Amino acid sequence: MYLADRRSAPSASAPPDGRRATTDHRPRRRAGSALSPTVLVLGTVSLITDISSEMVTAVLPLYLVAELGLSPWGFGVLDGVYNGVSALVRLVGGRLSDRGGGGGHKTVAAVGYGLSALCKPLLLMVHSLPLIGAVLAVDRTGKGLRTAPRDAMISLAAEPAVRGRAFGVHRAMDTAGALCGPLVAFVLLRVAAEGYDAVFTVSFCVAVLGVVVLLLFVPRRLPDAAQAAAERAPAGPRTPVRALLGRPEVRRLTGCAVLLGLTTVSDSFLYLTLQRRLDLPTGWFPLLPLGTAAAFLLLAVPLGAVADRIGRRRLFLAGHLALLGAYGLLLVPSAGGAALVCAVLVLHGSFYAATDGVLAAATADAVPEDARGSGLAVVQTGQTAARFVCSLAFGAAWTAWGDRTAVLTAAIGLALASAVSAFLLRRAVPAPASNSPAKEAR
Amino acid sequence: MSRSARLSLLLVTVLVLGGVAVGATLHAAGRDARKEHTRAGGPAVASGAVRLDDPHRSLFRTMAWGPHRDEITAVPAGRLTGPRTASGVRCLRFHAAAGTGLCLQAVHGTLRDTYRAVILDRRLHPLRHYDLAGTPTRARVSPSGRTVAWTVFVSGDSYAGTAFSTRTSVVDTRGRHLDASLESYALTVDGRPVHAADVNVWGVTFADDTRFYATAATAGKTYLVRGDRTTRTLRALHPNVECPSLSPDGTRLAYKKRVKGADPDAPWRLYVLDLRTLRERATGEHRNVDDQAVWRDDHTLVYSLPGDFGSDLWTVPADGTGAPHRLVTAALAPVFPR
């Protein structure tokens, strides 16, 4: 199988001292062909899986209310709990997947994708809120498990010079799937009115297809990881989170992700503020997230490529400046209309495009291959936790001072956090023009 | 495994999964057609004239399979299991009082489903409608029939997962004045004003045309609030109350209460609160009730629980005595005209 995998993955054709060889090959490759097929396969897996999961997400409220006569209110309350569990599971998934020098990434990711796939037919069999809640909790566990190993595999499959673009391609494919899912679901409901069982069954089939594509076409042992494991055997499974954070590079990046996360207002609050400040008709509200997603989809690849050129940390910071711009527009007095809404959503989408995959790429630069899954999980979980704290604080600020002052406070906080991060990350990468901070990590 | 072997395996998988997916869809489409036929042993349903102000008839959304599935139907007030007369009007949620009906229904569009609230006259003819921002969940009409309220779930965004929030609107059916969101009312908890962005209001029950009770949630807690449309205020009266329902004599509220130690996914039990003493009492229903109960009279509660056809109606005495029993199968959103 490994032989076949090598044939299917060009970067795997590198000789045993592949790191240098890969570096030598890079300039001769055209930019367009430099992406490893493994990245595209992982993007395809995410695209397929997101179609499947967003199909269910889109019809779940309607299914509960129209078919089961329940109210989905309980899920809103439990969502925070599920997200917390998901974040912890992500750390576990990252840690587990690093065992075995990279071979574990595929296994843990497959278990995560498989777990979520199994939940789809289960949704058909349970008819009460507690059991549906339990099934969704398992689904979230699967999502938590697979995220870190998947990002680790992307980072290992992509050559360092194109890592930003690789993550951009992955995030764009992921978002495309998320946008398709609801469409597929509603087409099915058009063919078979009240055919929720059809929606869940098709969602299951799509999810299984995602797992099969992963199992068949993602090489079990990515070349860099295998080699790294051989070279630094002692570090392997014994690299705990504390040792990771002992590395200044990782510490600075995690610190900045947390610091910036603390001033990143959650999507729901941003849309709520937008709607209230501009007094938008309620019918617009469901369209606001679509605007952000569309901008994210269109910009993820180009901004990923820009990140490879000017440095991932630099673009990560620039992305937060886009968010700062969005906050600023929300503060403009008596401005209104569709133009402002579009501007805010485009800035919000650019923020995601410039930070989501780019942070993963930057993390990959700073974390050794044999701890890639754990490292990604640590940075991303830190960021998620910080954003959760920000939501609580923003809600409190809104209560105490009103929405305008709350946004102003968030904007000032974000400006300060960006300045501190710019200082910290500049010190970490004295020469960002070298466009390969990865070298420093080695 | 060689590349071609893996490609053939993928092809086989696609064919098998595609077959299952197409099969499931055709099956659902076929069953959808079959649902148009009444199942043997089910309640008899015939179409006919339905009125909202006939005290000898009770109304609900029938969920039994057949051509009239989901329509508002009338049954003899004394025998809810009797023959059903279907009105032809399909609603997800429904309520009526004094000849005014409120029907929250789905509108199947080409790209996505939308929802609307339709105000009905006593013969169930639509008077006007309002577009809704999300999935309908609660509907109530004031005792005089003049004011109506509805709650929808607003869900959104793939980053935020399954987070829901609610939006509750109140409309004066004659003056046509619309309060699009009760969140714009001034909320006070323990005498202090609350301006939090996370305030949600849902589950209105009317005392008269301007005063009502509802649930308000903020910072992870829910409160019973007393609302006033003229002063645009909500005042918290009692904690841990969701989906209140005012008794016909206006002295008590039935509601779902989140009990300690229960499954966090199914925490709600049916309670009754005396408004003068603010003393609460559990009913004889010990299962999870996720519904806004309806008072059949001053002593009896009716509410829905999941059943074979989606939902059945159950009943229990309001004074904490007795045991629940099933009132009627395959029904939701009952109304008992007076």
Tens of pLDDT, residues B194-225: 877 678 899 999 999 999 999 998 877 899 99
Q: Could you tell me if A351 lies within 8 Å of chain B, comparing CB atoms?
A: no
Residues 85-124 of A with CB under 8 A from B: none
Of residues B84 and A99, the one with the higher pLDDT is B84
Inter-CA distances, A263 with A352, A395, A418, Å: 14, 12, 10
User: Is the pLDDT reported for residue A8 higher than 90?
Assistant: no
Instruction: For chain A, give the mean pLDDT.
Output: 81
Q: Which of A25-34, A73-82, A239-248, A354-363 has the lowest mean pLDDT?
A: A25-34
- By CA distance, what is B292's nearest residue in A? A71
**Numbers of helices and strands, H then E, in chain B:** 1, 27
What pLDDT is recorded for position A402?
80
HSE-CB of B170 using CA atoms within 13 angstroms: 27
Give CA–CA dist A360/A357, Å, rounded: 5
Q: How far is CA A141 from CA A52, A418, B105, in A?
A: 16, 33, 35
Q: What local confidence, expressed as pLDDT, does residue A117 receive? A: 95
- Distance from the Cα of B21 to chain A's closest Cα (Å) equals 5
Share of chain B above pLDDT 90, in %: 67
Contact B158 A202 (CB under 8 A): no
Contact B197 A65 (CB under 8 A): no
Distances in Å between the alpha carbon of A389 and those of A83, A264, A325, A381? 13, 10, 22, 12
Contacting residues of B for A209, CB less than 8 Å apart: 13-14, 17
As a whole number of angstroms, the distance between CA A27 and CA B44 comes to 78
**Nearest neighbour of A216 by CB, restricted to B9, B133, B306:** B9
- CA within 13 Å, CB half, B3: 7
What string of H, E and C letters represents the secondary structure of A249-270?
HHHHHHHHHHHHHCCCCCHHHH
Distance CA A302, CA A298 (A): 8
Q: Of A199-213, A237-251, A252-266, B268-282, where does mean pLDDT reach its minimum? A: A237-251
The chain B residue lying nearest A80, using CA atoms, is B163
A1: nearest CA partner in chain B: B1
* Cα–Cα dist B49/B26, whole Å: 35
Alpha helices in A126-247 (DSSP H): 129-157, 163-191, 196-217, 223-231, 241-245
Q: Which residues of A fall within a CB distance of 8 Å from B157?
A: 267-268, 271, 288-289, 292
The enclosing H or E element of A1 equals none
pLDDT at A336: 67
- Whether A209 and chain B come into contact, CB under 8 Å, resolves to yes
**In whole angstroms, what is the distance from residue A393 CA to residue A386 CA?**
10
Position A419 pLDDT exceeds 90: yes
pLDDT at B112: 64
CA distance A63 to A396: 34
**Residues near B261 by beta carbon (within 8 Å), at least 6 away in sequence:** none
pLDDT in tens, A385-399: 898 888 778 878 877
Strand partners, B107: B114
Q: Does A193 touch chain B (CB under 8 A)?
A: yes
Average pLDDT over residues A109-133: 89
Q: Tokens 């006070």 map to which residue?
A: B188
Judge: B156–A128 Cβ closer than 8 Å, yes or no.
no
pTM comes to 0.75
d(CA B162, CA A123): 15
DSSP B262-325: S-TTS-EEEEEEETTTTEEEE-S--S---S--EEEETTEEEEEE--TTS-EEEEEETTS-S--E
Residue B10: helix, strand or coil by DSSP? helix
pLDDT tens string B215-265: 998 877 899 999 999 999 999 999 999 999 999 999 999 999 999 887 766
Q: Which segment of A391-405, B2-16, B314-328 scores lowest on mean pLDDT?
A: A391-405
Burial B80-93 (b: 16+ CB within 10 A, else e): beeebbbbebbbbb
Interface touch A133/B265, C-beta < 8 Å: yes
